[in-house]
A = this chain, B = another copy of it.
Amino acid sequence: MKKYKLSFSLLVFVLLIYSCSEQTTKYGDPLPSWNDGATKQSIVDFVNEVTDESSPNFVKPADRIATFDNDGTLWSEQPFYFQFQFAFDRVKEMSVDHPEWKDNPLFKAALENDMKTVMKSGMKGLMEVIMTTHAGMTTEEFEQVVKEWINTAKHPKTNKLYKEMVFQPMLELLDYLRANDFKTYIVSGGGIEFMRPWTEEVYGIPPEQVIGSSIKVKYEMTDKGPVLKRLPEVDFFDDKEEKPVAIHKFIGKRPIAAFGNSDGDLQMLQWTAATPGGGQAGEGKRLMLYVHHTDAEREWAYDRESHIGGLNKGLDEANENGWTVVDMKNDWKKIYPWSE
């Protein structure tokens, strides 16, 4: 009987150990694709601090706002912004009804996936391609078009779906923040209606937490009921100085954490770093993080001189202010969910 009791105690002990070790595996490291080191530690320290009720830096859940850029921060953006490829693919699809495009240098270039020529046409040409492919239909029709594309279009280099070109470490970071009662938002220069149809599935971010650039829409009553018609006119370009403006308009609260990868995100990070009422990073703890593309082999390497996702002034400010800079090559064990 005594022996039995001992075995039972042993069993309990073993079960305890087992359940603890499982916890370590399952809950112990919320960021398994991040290498241990200062970068990862700065994230974990921040989260621990703002969620610790006994800390002077405690932030109540309702104010735990985290904003993420998308292109180059949550998914790749090379060889050029994926939404441009979407526009080019639309040109191809729509060209059936536009035989005249073969004689138009701009649309001819788009048809041939010749980004260089389209870029040479400057902002005017680019906007013409965007407006032609993104407007002139209802919001519901556009949503369908985006859904079809995102579920079929593949990246030329990896041959993976574009929606699979997302960064595994950032997916873990999104989950980790949400598990700690953060509300995660996208604040991107990309089209708001280009992102919303798939961000919930891919990032766990619902439509109402996606902010982006937009074209104007108009309410129209048709004989089938009301529709919102997309107009070929810019409504809002969500980049640089406009990111804090959009955050203020859509959320009405200041983020306590912001994540970007380019100079287009600099003002969002400045706005997050600043103490309301003036003064830099005085009250409360904040997390400002830049993803630095340093991995030419597993992803791409670019920063100060890049025509896409340029990171120049932002890199200097990050260094000056002690913001977190992710060295993709050394800080990330894994780039994509499907990569080794």
Q: Hey, which bits of chain A sit against chain B, CB under 8 A?
A: 62, 139-140, 183, 192-193, 196, 206-208, 210, 214, 217-219, 221-222, 224-228, 241-242, 244-245, 248-253, 267, 270-271, 274-280
Contacts and interface: CB of A to CB of B under 8 A. Distances in A.
Contacts of A210: 252
26 contacts: A62-B206, A139-B248, A183-B208, A193-B252, A196-B252, A207-B251, A207-B252, A208-B250, A208-B251, A208-B252, A208-B253, A210-B252, A214-B249, A217-B245, A217-B248, A218-B241, A218-B245, A219-B244, A219-B245, A219-B267, A224-B279, A225-B270, A225-B280, A226-B267, A226-B270, A228-B248
Q: What's the number of copies of this chain in the assembled complex?
A: 2
Given A193-B252, A225-B280, 13 more contacts: A192-B252, A208-B251, A210-B252, A214-B249, A217-B245, A217-B248, A219-B267, A225-B278, A225-B279, A226-B271, A227-B278, A228-B245, A250-B250
A278 B218 contact: no
B244 A226 contact: yes
A11 to B, nearest CB: 39
Contact of A192 (B219, B249, B277, B278): B249
A127 B207 CA distance: 33
Contacts of A196: 252
Main secondary structure of the interface of A (DSSP, over half): mixed
Contacts of A252: 192-193, 196, 207-208, 210
Task: Rank and list the top 4 A-B pairs by shortest CB-CB distance, nearest first.
Answer: A224-B278, A207-B252, A225-B274, A219-B241
Contacts of A270: 221, 225-226
Nearest to A225: B274
Q: A193, A218, A226, A251: which has the most chain B beta carbons within 10 Å? A: A226
Contacts of A277: 140, 224
A265 to B, nearest CB: 13
A165 B259 CA distance: 42
Contacts of A217: 245, 248-249
A249 to B, nearest CB: 7
